[in-house]
């Protein structure tokens, strides 16, 4: 996959991830865990332009989100919501920031349908966000 194609794919997946984040926030659930280095790299690039980042998060999550440090490891509990809306997670979710695919983790996911991973961050609603959430679709 070319770097440009990978970057576009990561950004598209980030939008889907933010949609799930908004839905989880509306339902009173914890924010989803960002376990993909490749998708997180796209997020970091987006944060370099605060206005573009704000517009992107509002477009997909219907609220402003911020990048919050929140490390951990364990079961990734938002995968079912993603699969219901979009189908199976694509390979980019199992790709690190350097573009290396973790074939073992991808294989486990394809075999079991579950994801166990480490993460370093999650989205959080920005302080003072007064946007009214609306129904969203992936």
What pTM was computed for the model?
0.88
What residue numbers bound the domain in which 72 lies?
Answer: 3-125
Can you tell me the distance from the alpha carbon of 131 to that of 111, in angstroms, rounded to the nearest whole number?
40
The helix/strand/coil state of 27 is: coil
What number of other Cβ atoms are within 10 A of residue 32's Cβ?
22
Cα 105–111–114 angle (5° rounding)?
A: 65
Tokens 């997909």 label which residue?
60
Is 132 inside any structural domain?
no
The number of folded domains in the chain is: 1
Is 42 inside any structural domain?
yes
Is 130 inside any structural domain?
no
Is 137 inside any structural domain?
no
Is 135 inside any structural domain?
no
Is 52 inside any structural domain?
yes
Is 109 inside any structural domain?
yes
Interior/surface letters 33-53, b for 16+ CB within 10 angstroms, e for the rest: bbbbbbbbbbbeebeeeeeeb
Per-residue pLDDT of the chain (138 residues; tens, 9 = 90+): 556 677 899 999 999 999 999 999 999 999 999 999 999 999 999 999 999 999 999 999 999 999 999 899 999 999 999 999 999 999 999 999 999 999 999 999 999 999 999 999 999 998 654 444 444 444
């Amino acid at each position: 996959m070319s770097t440009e194609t990978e970057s576009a794919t990561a950004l598209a997946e980030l939008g889907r991830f933010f949609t799930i984040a908004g839905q989880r926030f509306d339902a009173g659930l914890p924010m989803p865990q960002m376990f993909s280095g490749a998708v997180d790299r796209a997020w970091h690039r987006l944060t370099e332009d605060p206005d573009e980042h704000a517009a992107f998060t509002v477009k997909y999550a219907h609220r402003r989100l911020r990048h919050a440090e929140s490390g951990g490891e364990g079961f990734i509990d938002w995968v079912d919501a993603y699969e219901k809306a979009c189908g199976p997670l694509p390979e980019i979710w199992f790709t690190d920031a350097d573009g290396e695919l973790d074939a073992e983790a991808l294989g486990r996911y394809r075999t079991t349908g579950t994801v166990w991973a480490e993460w370093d961050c999650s989205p959080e609603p920005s302080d003072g966000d007064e946007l009214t959430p609306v129904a969203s679709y992936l």
